[in-house]
Structure 1
């Protein structure tokens, strides 16, 4: 199966309109990003302020040793819960957050906040236990142990809070790089879903009588508002919208095509796909209604620009799940979440475009190229595509890239050769000392510094490319990437 491309020649008017739309979008991103960050900081300040104004300042400064410890525990618990709610909001797939940061950057912020939240939770627990042990005159090495037993048997809300803390610790441990490499995506995803359970289990303790979460009517209203906003966002964007879209569009597999050794394209067709708000370069979480594929959803970019009739993903065999896609049967039902990601031409504000891809990272790059060609958003020669592979047999979708660049009057550079330590380019066969990557790239792409750059590929490769682009004179604001690490 192939996609039909009806290209428009990139006229000055079409290009100007595309660039003007990009500038408008950038301004909206900046304003919305400032607003979201201001709200996040304001929420933290509000939590600290209500604690201090409610008597916490006296306990921290003028209280006894045990009173000060308890106050530290109370404050860290409040801040930790606020940060945890912000984390859940970042992971709730809210479109406004996605458009401003891209889902990869939102999830990166989610992980960074997690490294702060879990230690705060542990400080909260430790300070409360030692503080109450001191208040109750339980001295000696076993005092905190006795106090912990008293607290856990003092009410179900504290027992639930203990389980919530344990879940957060497990999530933090599995988020460490070494642990992530040992876990499959399916297990990692399952463990991280328990974050929702942790929040739910913590709520009875937080809203119990006499807690800092219910210190006054204003404070109680504030926390209930936060809980409702976050819960509604998660339920709406992670559950209801995906279910509604899957039911509406009725996606089914129509064909599976081998593109290269170990690389397959899955073509899908459905209803009203012209109303699905997906753009070239974005990805969706796909779940195929097949016995061995139904259990988990995986994020894969669309590999052809949306045409209102079909969707296509192209997947490399990287594990059991992806290899099973080769055996999908036509007619298989498809459920999906999304679209997600800010890796689109929507951010483009420069006439010249540089698209760089390696490995299966070619899929979003190829779809963006098709969009530029099909809609005439780039004049002849304005786009340069750089495709890196260790071997020519790994150049999946090569024929399509050659066709698209030829139709649009653009340039395709195929860089093939074994990897070189510290470089993202193939070996330099000219002899002598190899030139830096930035210099070699500038020779390949004239007027490099005037380009808008998009890159997608393995994480280490993208980091090297990113450095070369910066050294080549392209500002960071004109370099776009999407990273799918978890």
Structure 2
């Protein structure tokens, strides 16, 4: 049933431009492939897909539960790229076959420029191919160190998409082809109002009135670069299932009030706790937080652990990526594991290890659970040979793999398990963004 619902939602998201197309071409379909009409077709696809990216950016939990947050954001990026391509084709066709300097064109041009600029900044500095290029990595470092422009400034800049949406909506509503029929104005207007309302609700109303409030109980350094933040017990259950994450806004001058995503490292029935690695300016300040500090929580998000999966489970964590697994293991510490669960933890140094007593107790208590450590400084690294031996014992078609850790390790693991024959749908990982 879930797969069918995903198919319906995804198909609907891709096919919804045909709704305004119906109002534009009903009774006139013979003109559909005229070059000028094709300009309108691409324009409507761009309009709808662009506004749909705003809707998706509103962190709608229905989509998150259905697909998983990382997959929603991947679809969001592809939809934005399709909208940009369609807008460019629309512009070229309109200018080539119907050159005009009408005032209604200007909002569309400005909206498109803003949209292209935001998209370029996002792909080069926030997510996308630019993340892995040395030049843009150096440029990000220069912006952060010299210009004091960091990821949160880029996030604020990303909000200009709402201004682009207003300009593009004005352009579409002022077009002569739209004004020919009230039904066209109505459908485009409703789409714009709905998208902007959802986006502004997410960005303005929800942060001001609807976020859950937490209070820090303790801050503990578990290793020299990993800290644990425990929160006081809340009256409400804050996560629905183990391995989920949320967006946390710590209200303290120690670190500022920016919103950051963190995986919850506690089970759904326990007070919320986080494991945070010091790997930047923001996380490097969190050890200075004091008990009693208030924190705003937006969540939960993600569906890291699949429900009702049979067969063997292989969990692979890299460094602080152990967080969702600790959440899951804490939930299972009394009930056990119905199927074999083999856990692999990859760290750089011996000093990065913690909670070994907890893992040892699980291994001693439950025969279905085992764990293996890989410490790279000791020349002990996870490799394809190890996984190949694992899949000799546990057939890939009956195995589910969960991963949380650095992107480079994820890419290696993804390639290894693909070579071993594991179906793509059986590989679960979570990335969170925006």
Closer, same or farther: CA 165–335 of 1 in aligned 2, 3 Å = same
What are the residue-to-residue correspondences of 1:39-438 with 2, within 5 Å? 39-53=12-26, 55=28, 57-58=30-31, 60-61=33-34, 68=35, 70-133=36-99, 150-151=101-102, 154=103, 158-174=105-121, 175-176=123-124, 177-178=129-130, 181=137, 182-183=139-140, 184-208=150-174, 210-212=176-178, 214-237=179-202, 239-241=204-206, 243-246=208-211, 249-274=212-237, 276-291=238-253, 293-308=255-270, 310-345=271-306, 347-374=307-334, 376=335, 378-379=337-338, 382-409=340-367, 410-418=369-377, 426=381, 436-438=385-387
Is this contact kept in 1: 2:315–2:344, CA < 8 A? yes
Q: Aligned-pair distance for 1:92?
A: 1.7
In the TM superposition, residue 47 of structure 1 has moved relative to its aligned partner by: 3.5
Distance of 1:59 and 1:96 partners within structure 2: 35
Provide the secondary structure at the position in 2 that maps to 1:250.
strand
Shift of 1:437: 4.6
- 1:351–1:373 Cα change, 3 Å: farther
Distance 1:79 1:405 in 2: 54
Paired with 1:59 and 1:449, the residues of 2 have a C-alpha distance of 47
- Alignment check: 8 A CA contact 1:451 1:474 kept: yes
Correspondence for 1:441: 390
Do the aligned partners of residues 305 and 239 (structure 1) sit closer, same or farther apart at CA in structure 2, a change above 3 Å counting? Answer: farther
CA pair 116-59 structure 1, distance change in 2 beyond 3 A: closer
SS of 2:315's equivalent in the other structure is strand
Deviations 1:222-256 (A, max 9, x none): 3233334433433445554555443xx43111111
Please give the alpha-carbon distance, in whole angstroms, between the structure 2 residues aligned to 1:278 and 1:237: 21
Q: TM-score, normalised by structure 1?
A: 0.76
Flag the 1:242–1:478 CA change in 2: closer, same or farther, 3 A. farther
Asked whether the equivalents of residues 370 and 404 of structure 1 are also in contact (C-alpha less than 8 Å), the reply is: no
Counterpart-to-counterpart distance in 1, 2:199 and 2:407: 29
In 2, are the aligned partners of 1:260 and 1:394 still within 8 Å (CA)? yes
Residues 116 and 449 of structure 1, relative CA distance in 2, 3 Å threshold: closer
Question: Cα–Cα, structure 1 residues 399 and 55, in superposed 2: closer, same or farther, change >3 Å?
Answer: same
Shift of 1:357: 0.6
Range with greater deviation from structure 2 (100-109 or 202-211)? 202-211
Measure the CA separation in 1 of the matches of 2:308 and 2:429. 13
Q: After TM superposition, give the deviation of residue 102 of structure 1 in Å.
A: 0.7
Query: In 1, distance between residues paired with 2:299 and 2:352?
Result: 28
CA distance in 2, matches of 1:161, 1:314: 46
Relative contact order, higher structure (CA 8 A, sep 6+): 1
Structure 2 CA distance for aligned equivalents of residues 401 and 481 of structure 1: 21
- Pick aligned residue for 2:9 from 36, 44, 53: 36
Pick the structure with greater CA Rg. Answer: 1
RMSD between aligned residues: 2.9
Per the TM alignment, residue 284 of structure 1 is displaced from its structure 2 partner at its CA by 0.6
Q: How far 1:399 sits from its partner (Å)?
A: 4.0
- Other structure's SS at 1:168 match: helix
1:13-38 alpha-carbon deviations (Å, 9 max, x no partner): xxxxxxxxxxxxxx3x2122112123
Quote the Cα distance in structure 1 between the aligned partners of 2:42 and 2:382.
53
Measure, in 1, the Cα distance between the counterparts of 2:255 and 2:167: 31
What residue is the counterpart of 1:10 in the other structure?
none
- In 2, Cα distance between the equivalents of 1:415 and 1:452? 20
In the alignment, the residues of structure 2 paired with residue 256 and residue 353 of structure 1 have an alpha-carbon distance, to the nearest angstrom, of 32
Superposition deviation, residue 199 in structure 1:
0.7
